[in-house]
Amino acid sequence: MPGNTFGERFRVTTAGVSHGPGYLCIIDGCPAGLPLTVADLLPDLRRRRPGQSTIVSQRDEEDVPEIWSGVFEGLTDGTPIGLLFHNRDARSQDYEEIKEKYRPGHADFSFDAKYGIRDYRGGGRSSARETLCRVAAGAIAKKLLARIGISIVGYTSQVGEIAAQIEDPATVTLDQVEANAVRCPDPAAAAAMIERIEEVRKQQDSIGGCCTLAAVGVPAGWGEPVFDKLKADLAKGLLSLPAVTGFEYGSGFAAALARGSQHNDPFIRSEAGAITTSSNRHGGMLGGISTGLPIVCRVAIKPASSLPQPQPTVTRAGEPTTIATRGRHDPCLVPRFVPMGEAMMALVLVDHALRHQAQTLWPHHDASSGGAR
Amino acid sequence: MPGNTFGERFRVTTAGVSHGPGYLCIIDGCPAGLPLTVADLLPDLRRRRPGQSTIVSQRDEEDVPEIWSGVFEGLTDGTPIGLLFHNRDARSQDYEEIKEKYRPGHADFSFDAKYGIRDYRGGGRSSARETLCRVAAGAIAKKLLARIGISIVGYTSQVGEIAAQIEDPATVTLDQVEANAVRCPDPAAAAAMIERIEEVRKQQDSIGGCCTLAAVGVPAGWGEPVFDKLKADLAKGLLSLPAVTGFEYGSGFAAALARGSQHNDPFIRSEAGAITTSSNRHGGMLGGISTGLPIVCRVAIKPASSLPQPQPTVTRAGEPTTIATRGRHDPCLVPRFVPMGEAMMALVLVDHALRHQAQTLWPHHDASSGGAR
Amino acid sequence: MPGNTFGERFRVTTAGVSHGPGYLCIIDGCPAGLPLTVADLLPDLRRRRPGQSTIVSQRDEEDVPEIWSGVFEGLTDGTPIGLLFHNRDARSQDYEEIKEKYRPGHADFSFDAKYGIRDYRGGGRSSARETLCRVAAGAIAKKLLARIGISIVGYTSQVGEIAAQIEDPATVTLDQVEANAVRCPDPAAAAAMIERIEEVRKQQDSIGGCCTLAAVGVPAGWGEPVFDKLKADLAKGLLSLPAVTGFEYGSGFAAALARGSQHNDPFIRSEAGAITTSSNRHGGMLGGISTGLPIVCRVAIKPASSLPQPQPTVTRAGEPTTIATRGRHDPCLVPRFVPMGEAMMALVLVDHALRHQAQTLWPHHDASSGGAR
Amino acid sequence: MPGNTFGERFRVTTAGVSHGPGYLCIIDGCPAGLPLTVADLLPDLRRRRPGQSTIVSQRDEEDVPEIWSGVFEGLTDGTPIGLLFHNRDARSQDYEEIKEKYRPGHADFSFDAKYGIRDYRGGGRSSARETLCRVAAGAIAKKLLARIGISIVGYTSQVGEIAAQIEDPATVTLDQVEANAVRCPDPAAAAAMIERIEEVRKQQDSIGGCCTLAAVGVPAGWGEPVFDKLKADLAKGLLSLPAVTGFEYGSGFAAALARGSQHNDPFIRSEAGAITTSSNRHGGMLGGISTGLPIVCRVAIKPASSLPQPQPTVTRAGEPTTIATRGRHDPCLVPRFVPMGEAMMALVLVDHALRHQAQTLWPHHDASSGGAR
């Protein structure tokens, strides 16, 4: 596969560039019968949108998609959902310089190396603007998940060295996240983060951070063994987003420091009689399959590569030069990343929900003694 | 896809359980003309093998595969390579207890939740023994890559809080790695790691760690844009391995702390006249596409879940109990993980090499001004 | 996969319905560097278009696509090609009746059975209007193939019992095909066919027929062994088109009557010294792999199901009724099918060209004695 | 995909050659809980087996697979089913001649053209012996289908010009088929067919024929719209079998002769109140989706290419020569094809059953007026 499609059963295919007419997005595999209108897609698209506050990019796009197919009389009809996004605020003149100069940290050079041809306008295909397709598809995935009791919330958990103090990511609410511009549910940390981002912005610089994501309500049993482990597909989905440089779930890299006797989550019987664990260092997945506990993961996001300050680089011909980003830019990518991360998590979960169904068409063996059903 | 296949163009499909007759592995997509014998597969299989030293599991398996197809008169012939591994040292009696008790940190519970039926002998399908298929397939992938000048080396970079001091992962050699039982090319750190693992083993405990992987010689231009970024497929491949809880490439989670002005790698012209970067915080990938610099990543590996000491858990019926692993176990998984990690990296790279070919059948536009070709 | 994507390496994904805003088509995997404009797509779209003559449907659509992405400064740039088709002549009022009545021979009933919801306007997703996406994608595939010396020509070889007399399908030219409205290169048969179709049209009826397709210039060695044989993928591609009820290649169903001694094509050495066969009953494929001879196949196309005359059927509630098609309809589908069949053949061939490349990245064994290289 | 895997959700991957150690077959995606033993696979393997009677090949193979994984305590456990077939009667000496000579009608030449290397022993990977993997996998698929009331029966419907007279293929029983060596449920035609095949065998020749296949009990709604139509996937599955040169379903090529007014199957309400059609010229599929009527298709099978009589050909170096098959051969392939055809039909149907499930996880819209649910 050439790489512009995500998912096996709930498949998202996108096309488009940041400074062409717009983006096409085809979502194939959505079950029939889901009520759906453009209004369902707008909240997350607005969260992703540039220009929400002074701490994110100022590009002003409406980003209201047109639904061309897949919805009939207000309901999905089982046929592929076709979405269209027009590019309205594409200022091509801002980008003439990058035709000849390789922007540090961007994909200009690697695209040239791959294709020999490159749409140099605003990053072309490598522009993060493509993620609006993912966010729209993710909104549909979230709506499907919500119907079976699953909710997904992401938030900014770190900006530079400022970390949010959150006891349990699975208890964070959307309202808490949206209470401030940086999307951090710890108000004190949020204030410090915003201050830091403003400071960085004034320095014509950018800063990295982390986003934590939690899915609550995922039943035990999702994820395929061996290669398509749920953790593996989450890692892929999240690393496929621009600027993500790391992924961990549960205890993550801290597990490298741990002893097994303290790291294993003991199984217990809950008050309701179900089998569960008394802690969740396993991030809701064992053997790559969900356990019924919240699925929790965290990603690292590098500082935005585009900077208003001049950076050393070379031209396509190899001549030393400098480049400064004159257009809009994000001093910190994390706040706008939050809906993107949620979207990819939702897409992975819906896909695995549909894949897990193989176990339901034909009746299971009636296991007599216990079992997790 | 039900999850037992990896790759698009160089596809590995495995079947088998740890205490059945053995494993089947089908490798589809290997080009014809590669000299191949069982001897090519043995070195990495021996590195993965239990019982190499006192710091890893003592299970004694020969792990010599039979090649049933795909090789004719010493050369791959383009048809699928069929490998067979016999299980010779499967002591089923060791595992009767886990039929009724859920081992903490293992997939027993989640498999029951998924399938309602579980091969309880030694982890069944979730046993890490399945990785011998991957290591064998990876050895073939490595051999293909070597023919076009690409080498892959992994090593133990951390055990608990002991970290190797390695200036540039891309300069580490296989000899350095194999110089000690813990596979750490920093001799001082290696000694401390081995001491720590022995200590943990005596405490009937286990300890986590990290493995660093580097691929040298990958040309610029591999990786597909948007969803199948090289970084995303590496993350998936590595997270699909048992016990891996985190992945990062280049600066990874440290990028969260960084400013863009210090983090971006400036493009320069090399002495040979090629365009490259003066540092490699980007881990050899920009926009998910290789840049020609070494591809460097790191994964976190949790402490082994199986412990000789008793751990609290419940039975399948939910009754509280304890379980202690009586069989073989690894006090630290990282040394044996190294060849597994290398194998997944090799599989991802060969797959992307073959996928990138779409650009070569039909001639590129003859870009006049510069470009990275 | 949910079914709206075709191909592995050259992937076409479509969305849209006949009476919504239009169609989206994403073509992923086209190599960079191919000169491409809308003008390249128009000739085949015009051949597919309704209203070309009195013997086909009179719907009047411009069917000029917009290229939204994948082409930069006149060349494909390796990123997905996004096409947009607006529906301009969608007369929804024509189709209100079929909301409640099942049209015989159409997919109304089976869509209801599958999804429980159905866009009843003009067939919705099952409308043959979707094929304009395929014809556009096929035009790109044809252009790629032409660059390496491969041409594809299809023609109407049968209408009812009137069969074209064509000695060798591989010698038919596009000019011969386009010389008459029925697209039959045998002028005498063409005249009889047109007369027959006119007669059928006056009877408010429709008539079936056959389309023969030939690809000339395909090198030996394309097609994958076992499941993805070239003949199997051609069969799938062509049967995926509406109204196709049969597929055969080479001698096809006539092979059922044959003796092996007469049916086998003897291998010979050509005057140029290459190994070939002296006849082509094998239709250019042996073992599912191309032999270098023309690939020739034939498909059966049923009479159009939509008829102006009343046909017995039931309502959705099961009440007996009749239905007559008031809108446009085709008395014979074959003439407009020709470009669709060519398109699917081109898509299959380009896909296999790209898949075959696995054999080219790493050098072949240097077979000393003969061989077909 | 390199071509040795079939299916999306119920995936069969095979490896092996006719004169190596044997075949590996991995079946991924079988739901857990199906009782399964080797005995379930033997009946169809025996029907496929050479040496059943004088009218088929005399190779004597036991063809009893070993089940290496995927079945635990008598039930499938959701993990991949690994099958092993040993080649016991591989007489390599029979095949030395074909190392240098291209057998007419076989894939020797096209394999050389593709790979540059060829396992010349008995056809290697192109040998029809590979179909024993398919037949075994198909037996599992049939068992799954039987549990939801679906049965599949195939039979020899034509040998040369002798055609069976069968009013309704959907009423043919396995007992009728197995009542004679040629697997034709019309006893008079069967006798004539056997006589003809004996005659052909004595002439050291072979003869072609047709196999008709019917699946009864498939519910309405299976099959994906547009590209993955049920008819398209059946065509692909059947054309992927060796020697198949044509496919048709329902009225097939006879539809080319028909008028729409006579060809359309009128919808009616059955006595039980369900919506159905009064005839089945549509072969159980409309718009590529099942209608609930029997799915009926027919394939053409060419005369076996291997003949005891000398046939003209060339050597790999292009020198004219002759070749005669000294080993076992089939004077007519159709009787042994019957279980192969059934197997591919079963694999396609199980795959689509699992794919159709996307419509069942989330509840459908409650369509008030009628509908086919």
- H/E/C letters for each residue in B263-287? HCCCEEECCCCCEEECCCCCCCEEC
CB contact under 8 A, A287 and B253: no
pLDDT tens-digit readout, A178-193: 999 999 999 999 999 9
CB contact under 8 A, C31 and B75: no
Nearest to C20 among A2, A29, A68 (CB): A68
Do residues A195 and B208 touch, judged by C-beta distance below 8 A? no
Give chain D positions within 8 Å (CB) of A362: 31, 33-34, 144, 147-148
Please identify every stretch of chain C with a pLDDT value under 50, giving residue numbers as ranges: 364-373
Do residues D370 and D72 touch, judged by C-beta distance below 8 A? no
Spatial CA neighbour of A355 closest among A232, A247, A252, A224: A224
Beta carbons within 10 angstroms of residue B64's beta carbon: 15
CB contact under 8 A, D362 and A34: yes
Please tell me the distance from the alpha carbon of residue C249 to that of residue C71, in angstroms, as a whole number: 35
What ipTM is given for this predicted complex?
A: 0.95
Give me the mean pLDDT over the D196-213 stretch: 97
Give me the mean pLDDT over the A148-160 stretch: 97
Find which of B76, B117, B126 to mutate to test the D interface (most D CBs within 10 Å of its CB): B117
pLDDT tens-digit readout, D128-172: 999 999 999 999 999 999 999 999 999 999 999 999 999 999 999
Spatial CA neighbour of A354 closest among A148, A72, A79, A213: A148
pLDDT of residue D365: 41
CB contact under 8 A, B208 and A125: no
Is the confidence at residue B95, as pLDDT, over 90? no
Residue given tokens 């003009």 in the structure block: C122
Give the pLDDT band (50/70/90) at residue B368. very low
Please tell me the distance from the alpha carbon of residue A87 to that of residue B128, in angstroms, as a whole number: 49
DSSP string, D63-91: ---EEEESEETTEE-SSPEEEEEE--S--
Length of chain D: 373
CB contact under 8 A, B360 and C357: yes
Find which of C197, C257, C360 to mutate to test the D interface (most D CBs within 10 Å of its CB): C257
pLDDT of residue A56: 67
Find which of A361, A364, A366, A368 to mutate to test the D interface (most D CBs within 10 Å of its CB): A361
Find which of A130, A263, A278 to mutate to test the B interface (most B CBs within 10 Å of its CB): A263
Please tell me the distance from the alpha carbon of residue D250 to that of residue D280, in angstroms, as a whole number: 7
Is the confidence at residue D179, as pLDDT, over 90? yes
pLDDT of residue A250: 98
How would you classify the pairing of strands D244-249 and C244-249?
Answer: antiparallel
Find which of D10, D13, D34, D85 to mutate to test the B interface (most B CBs within 10 Å of its CB): D13
Please tell me the distance from the alpha carbon of residue D342 to that of residue A183, in angstroms, as a whole number: 58
Is the confidence at residue B241, as pLDDT, over 90? yes
pLDDT of residue B101: 95
Spatial CA neighbour of C306 closest among C161, C136, C126, C183: C126
pLDDT of residue A51: 72
Give me the mean pLDDT over the B208-231 stretch: 97
CB contact under 8 A, B33 and D116: yes
**What's the angle, vertex CA D282, arms to CA D276 and CA D287, rounded to 5?**
90
Beta bridge partners of D321: D313
Mean pLDDT is lowest, of A41-50, D30-39, D59-68, D256-265, for: D59-68
Pseudo-torsion of CA A367, A370, A372, A373, nearest 10°?
50
Residue of D nearest to C344 (CA): D227
Q: Which amino acid is at A242?
A: P
Structure tokens at A24: 């096409």
- The mean predicted confidence, pLDDT, of chain B is 92
Give chain D positions within 8 Å (CB) of B22: 68
Is the confidence at residue D368, as pLDDT, over 60? no
Touching chains, B (3+ CB pairs < 8 A): A, C, D
Give the pLDDT band (50/70/90) at residue B265. very high
Nearest to A31 among D32, D34, D359 (CB): D359
Do residues C355 and C259 touch, judged by C-beta distance below 8 A? no
Nearest to B31 among C144, C148, C359 (CB): C359
Give chain D positions within 8 Å (CB) of A144: 362
CB contact under 8 A, D26 and B24: yes
Do residues B180 and B118 touch, judged by C-beta distance below 8 A? no
Domain boundaries, chain C: 5-360
Is the confidence at residue D47, as pLDDT, over 50? yes
Spatial CA neighbour of C298 closest among C135, C160, C156: C156
CB contact under 8 A, D365 and A147: no
pLDDT of residue B2: 85
Is the confidence at residue D311, as pLDDT, over 50? yes
Give chain A positions within 8 Å (CB) of B372: 109-110, 112-113, 116
pLDDT tens-digit readout, A243-258: 999 999 999 999 999 9
pLDDT tens-digit readout, B251-261: 999 999 999 99
CATH code at B5-359: 3.60.150.10
CB contact under 8 A, A32 and D364: yes
Please tell me the distance from the alpha carbon of residue B199 to that of residue B191, in angstroms, as a whole number: 12
Mean pLDDT is lowest, of A210-214, C29-33, D238-242, D368-372, for: D368-372
Structure tokens at A328: 């809009």
Do residues C136 and C45 touch, judged by C-beta distance below 8 A? yes
Give the pLDDT band (50/70/90) at residue A367. very low
Q: Which amino acid is at D329?
A: H
Length of chain B: 373
pLDDT of residue D96: 75
Nearest to B361 among C79, C225, C354 (CB): C354
Q: What is the DSSP letter of A267?
A: E
Query: How large a percentage of chain A has pLDDT more than 90?
Result: 84
Of 3.40.50.2300, 3.30.450.20, 3.60.150.10, 3.30.70.270, the CATH number of C5-360 is: 3.60.150.10
Query: How large a percentage of chain A has pLDDT more than 70?
Result: 92
**What's the angle, vertex CA A213, arms to CA A209 and CA A215, rounded to 5?**
180
Spatial CA neighbour of A332 closest among B258, B286, B285, B287: B258
Do residues B31 and D9 touch, judged by C-beta distance below 8 A? no
Length of chain C: 373
Structure tokens at C126: 């099952």
Question: How far is the CA of D70 from the CAs of A124, A223, B3, B281, C120, in angstroms?
Answer: 47, 17, 14, 44, 45
Do residues B183 and B335 touch, judged by C-beta distance below 8 A? yes
pLDDT tens-digit readout, B319-340: 999 999 876 789 999 999 999 9
Give the pLDDT band (50/70/90) at residue B60. low
Nearest to B77 among D14, D73, D118 (CB): D118
pLDDT tens-digit readout, C296-316: 999 999 999 999 999 999 999
3-state secondary structure of D213: strand
CB contact under 8 A, B158 and A316: no
pLDDT tens-digit readout, B188-205: 999 999 999 999 999 999
Give chain C positions within 8 Å (CB) of A32: 115-117
Shortest Cα distance, chain D CAs vs residue B83, angstroms: 8
Shortest Cα distance, chain B CAs vs residue D21, angstroms: 6
Nearest to A77 among C2, C9, C118 (CB): C118
pLDDT tens-digit readout, A88-102: 865 656 677 889 999
Mean pLDDT is lowest, of A39-53, A281-295, D144-158, D338-352, for: A39-53
Query: How large a percentage of chain D has pLDDT more than 70?
Result: 92
Burial of B88 per CB tally in 10 Å (0-12, 13-18, 19+):
exposed
Q: Homologous superfamily of A5-357 in CATH?
A: Chorismate synthase AroC (3.60.150.10)
Q: Homologous superfamily of D5-358 in CATH?
A: Chorismate synthase AroC (3.60.150.10)
CB contact under 8 A, A365 and D78: no
